[in-house]
Structure 1
Amino acid sequence: MHVKYLIVGAGPTGLGAARRLAELGENDFLVLERNAYAGGLAASFRDSAGFTWDIGGHVVFSHYEYFDRLIEEALDGAFLEHMRIARVRIADRWVPYPFQNNIRHLPQDMQWECVEGLMPGKRPEAQPVNFREWIDCVFGAGIARHFMVPYNFKVWATPAELMGYRWIGERVSVIDLEMVVRNIILSLDQVSWGPNNVFRFPLHGGTGEIFRRMADRLGDRVRRSTAVVGVDAESRTVRCANGEVFTYDHMLSTGPLDLLVLEQVNAASETLRDAARQLARNSVYVAGVGVDGMQEDDTCWMYFPEDTSPFYRLTNFHNYSPNNAALPGRSRALMAETSWSAHKPEKLDTLMDKTIEGLVNTTMLRNEERDRILSTWSIAVDYGYPVPTLGRDAALATLQPWLEARSIYSRGRFGGWKYEVANMDHSVMQGVEWAERMLLGKEETTYRV
């Protein structure tokens, strides 16, 4: 079968591309999805006890009017809107997020250590060469020791010395010494920073509801349970695990870029394969714990830099929508995320037990509530975050031009391998902008090769 535009992956990027092609009147396309469901890493699942879980703590916020309209159309108004309430668990207390802007909540000795590290002459002044040095230059020794270094290792499962820092942009709130001191003396909190301080969430079905509906509206142009296993870049032919073969004029690949080069494209040279091996990632274990009974807690999500828990982030998923819980208003859904890698190994078979211990240690679950756990659910995601390592940009500069010269466009969270444009809205818009490039000749602005 031949199609003009072949899209591999029915996640946010692939569905965004397909939707835009159809909007522009192009019907000669097909989406191949290896899973039996659409959504990719933005899919949601309902467990046997009636709890709904996402693959991590997704929230819907946007940099794009197009994405906003897409969400409103897909959900037909069936969403909730929240003001972000986020906190950091440290020193047996809760500190408002961003941590570095609200250190007045720390014990006084920790406050002083953080402020002292920000004083003139205390921070390194040389140009940093990696993320670890950037942390010291921007935040000083105190904030680095208590939060930035341990937290980022828990998230990335990668030493900060191996990471670049050019990706940061709006991802990390930088710091102002005058503001820090003012907040301490005047007992002020600064909590509104960031693009996700207001976010939306589907009323029913979790984040995956958005992409289920998008896929359903594309009908038989989305083929589920159709895994691509081989790509002949010269003849523009794709071979699938079920024996089907497709030819194409242009291909959008939204799966992991390293697997595309190392396992699928048959003409990849050793130079390309070496570049693909430079791409690093972490893996993430998402644990859902459904509990009978409520607590007074309006927090959306929380960060955990200390070793009192294995998880780096916890989401009060019942606060996103009460329908995420099996008994709305009477049970709560706690969703924890723990990373692992060769730098930070984890024993997955014991990680649920460690997660529950961590919930107790951090006051998110009372010890007596262990017997009131209604459900435990988990998913181990091999590809969690694309890590912005020092060698990433050079690898992409080798891989992407070679692929594009053969009409293969690799986009999306792991297709593009750029964490800084891997939010849900970014991912959808990478697909939208690719479609507009194909049909209208417009320049892509979200993802740049």
Structure 2
Amino acid sequence: MHVKNCIIGAGPTGLGAAHRLAELGEDDFVVLERDGHVGGLSASFRDDAGFTWDLGGHVVFSHYEYFDALLDSLLGEDALQHQRIARVRIAGSWVPYPFQNNIRHLPKELVWECVDGLVEAHDRAARESAPAADFAEWIDRVFGAGIARLFMRPYNFKVWATPPERMQAGWIGERVSVVDLRRVLENIILEKEDVSWGPNNTFRFPLEGGTGAIYTRLAQPYMDRIRLETPVAGVDAESRTIRTADGQTITYENLLNTSPLDLFAGKLVSDAPDSLREAATLLEHNSVFVAGVGVAGTRDDDTCWMYFPEDNSPFYRTTNFHNYSPRNVPAGVSARALMAETSFSAYKKEDTAALMDRTVDGLVASALMENDEKRAILTRWETVLPYGYPVPTLDRDRALAAIQPWLEERGICSRGRFGGWRYEVANMDHSVMQGKEWADRVTRGDTEQTYTTPSK
């Protein structure tokens, strides 16, 4: 079989590429998907009890008019609009997010520890101009010792499952709210809430079907060209040939890979040089255990999601998924849907077999459940994501600068959360746009705007 455009993966990037190709009148494409469903890490599932769960706490917001218009066309009136309400559980209380702007909610001795560290960091910044050597140094410089100890260091280790000393600081951008000392002091003295920071302070969510509903609708017109349960077994870059696990051979002119780049460049590309395979070993990621706990009964709690830096719970984030859509719980059932995420890696080992029980205990310890509500649990749903987040390590850019040009010289683009391995452009809107821009590039010669390869 020969196709002009071959796409590996039917997640947001692959489906965004397929949709754009069709928009441009280019119908000569095929999408190869290893799983039996579309959506990738943005898929959703309904469990046997009738609860709907995402693969983690997804929030749909956008930097792009194209993505906004696409969502409008896919969801129409089936979209719910939310104002973000997020909190941090710390010292037995809830601090509004962003934590660093709302430290007045802490006990007074902890408020002073944070302010003292901020003042010291502010004074030090006036004397130092060299960029931070790593993420850990950046945390200490920007936030000071108090916020670093209480929140930034423990929370980021729980999320990334990677020591911050192994991570670069250049990925941060709009991902982390930095600190304005004057603003922090004003919030403390005037007792002001400061919760509007960030691009996701408002977000949309499908009325039914979870986040995955976006991608099942996006895929529907192209299902005749999407081959589910078709893993790729090998790629010969020079001859532009793909071999699938079921024995098919496909030749192509342009290839978009959205599968994990470390596996693609390190194992699937059969004619990759040793230098490319070695570069692929520098790419690091964490894994994530997602637990969905359906509990009978409701509460007066309008929080969207919560962060957990302390060690009395294994998870780093929990989502009140019932607040995203009333149809995330079974019809006619009064219940809460609590979705918790726990990361793990070689640096942060977890016994996944015990994580559901530890999650329930953590929900109780974090005041999201009462102890006697354990008897009111209606469902326990769990899944393990072997690839959770691509970690922006100190070696990442060097690896990408070696891998991506070699692939592109041979008609292969690797994009998306794990195909591109750049967390800073790995939101859903970024991912769809990377697929869209690849389609524009191979059909019209346009220059990509969202994804750029770091220089050596």
Q: What TM-score range do you get, normalising by the shorter chain?
A: over 0.9
Contact 1:272/1:398, CA 8 A, preserved across alignment: yes
Q: Which residue of 1 aligns with 2:172?
A: 168
SS in 1 for 2:418: coil
Greater mean alpha carbon deviation, residues 327-336 or residues 344-353: 327-336
User: Which of 194, 201, 204 pairs up with 2:198?
Assistant: 194
Contact 2:267/2:277, CA 8 A, preserved across alignment: no
CA distance in structure 2 between the partners assigned to 1:36 and 1:356 by the alignment: 30
Q: Which residue of 1 aligns with 2:160?
A: 156
Matched, 1:339 2:343: yes
Q: Which residue of 1 aligns with 2:29?
A: 29
Greater mean alpha carbon deviation, residues 240-249 or residues 398-407: 240-249
CA distance in structure 2 between the partners assigned to 1:73 and 1:99 by the alignment: 36
Q: CA deviation at 1:268?
A: 1.2
Q: Which residue of 2 aligns with 1:357?
A: 361
CA distance in structure 2 between the partners assigned to 1:366 and 1:37 by the alignment: 36
Q: Which residue of 2 aligns with 1:111?
A: 111
CA distance in structure 1 between the partners assigned to 2:441 and 2:200 by the alignment: 28
User: Which of 276, 295, 301 pairs up with 2:299?
Assistant: 295
Matched, 1:13 2:17: no
SS in 2 for 1:415: helix
Q: Which residue of 2 aligns with 1:89?
A: 89
Q: Which residue of 2 aligns with 1:73?
A: 73
Identity %: 65
TM-score (structure 2 length as normaliser): 0.97
Q: CA deviation at 1:252?
A: 0.2
Match for 1:77: what amino acid?
E
SS in 2 for 1:238: strand
Q: Which residue of 2 aligns with 1:411?
A: 415
Q: Which residue of 1 aligns with 2:183?
A: 179
Match for 1:49: what amino acid?
A
Q: Which residue of 1 aligns with 2:389?
A: 385
CA distance in structure 2 between the partners assigned to 1:328 and 1:58 by the alignment: 25
Match for 1:12: what amino acid?
P
Q: Which residue of 2 aligns with 1:398?
A: 402
Q: Which residue of 1 aligns with 2:217?
A: 213
Q: CA deviation at 1:128?
A: 1.2
Contact 1:63/1:425, CA 8 A, preserved across alignment: yes
Contact 1:38/1:215, CA 8 A, preserved across alignment: yes
Contact 1:44/1:207, CA 8 A, preserved across alignment: yes
Cα distance 1:347–1:120, how it changes in 2: closer, same or farther (>3 A)?
closer
SS in 2 for 1:414: helix
Q: Which residue of 2 aligns with 1:320?
A: 324
CA deviation string 1:273-296 (max 9, x = no partner): 110000000000000000111011
Q: Which residue of 1 aligns with 2:141?
A: 137
CA distance in structure 1 between the partners assigned to 2:214 and 2:376 by the alignment: 32
Structure 1: gaps of 5 or more residues? none
User: Which of 225, 242, 246 pairs up with 1:242?
Assistant: 246
CA distance in structure 2 between the partners assigned to 1:375 and 1:342 by the alignment: 30
Cα distance 1:123–1:147, how it changes in 2: closer, same or farther (>3 A)?
farther
Q: CA deviation at 1:429?
A: 0.2
Match for 1:334: what amino acid?
L
Match for 1:324: what amino acid?
N
Contact 1:123/1:136, CA 8 A, preserved across alignment: no
Q: CA deviation at 1:241?
A: 0.8
SS in 1 for 2:246: coil
Q: Which residue of 1 aligns with 2:232?
A: 228
TM-score (structure 1 length as normaliser): 0.99
Q: CA deviation at 1:215?
A: 1.1
Q: CA deviation at 1:127?
A: 3.0
Match for 1:93: what amino acid?
S
CA distance in structure 2 between the partners assigned to 1:11 and 1:72 by the alignment: 19
Q: Which residue of 2 aligns with 1:436?
A: 440
Matched, 1:203 2:207: yes
Contact 1:294/1:329, CA 8 A, preserved across alignment: no
Q: Which residue of 1 aligns with 2:3?
A: 3
Match for 1:73: what amino acid?
S
Contact 2:59/2:204, CA 8 A, preserved across alignment: yes
CA distance in structure 1 between the partners assigned to 2:71 and 2:384 by the alignment: 27
Match for 1:250: what amino acid?
N
CA deviation string 1:371-390 (max 9, x = no partner): 11000001100000000000
Q: Which residue of 2 aligns with 1:367?
A: 371
CA distance in structure 1 between the partners assigned to 2:298 and 2:244 by the alignment: 47
CA distance in structure 1 between the partners assigned to 2:65 and 2:288 by the alignment: 31
Match for 2:29: what amino acid?
F
Q: Which residue of 2 aligns with 1:255?
A: 259
CA distance in structure 2 between the partners assigned to 1:123 and 1:164 by the alignment: 21
Count of aligned pairs: 449
Q: CA deviation at 1:15?
A: 0.2
Q: Which residue of 2 aligns with 1:38?
A: 38
Q: Which residue of 2 aligns with 1:128?
A: 132
Q: CA deviation at 1:329?
A: 6.5
CA distance in structure 1 between the partners assigned to 2:440 and 2:71 by the alignment: 19
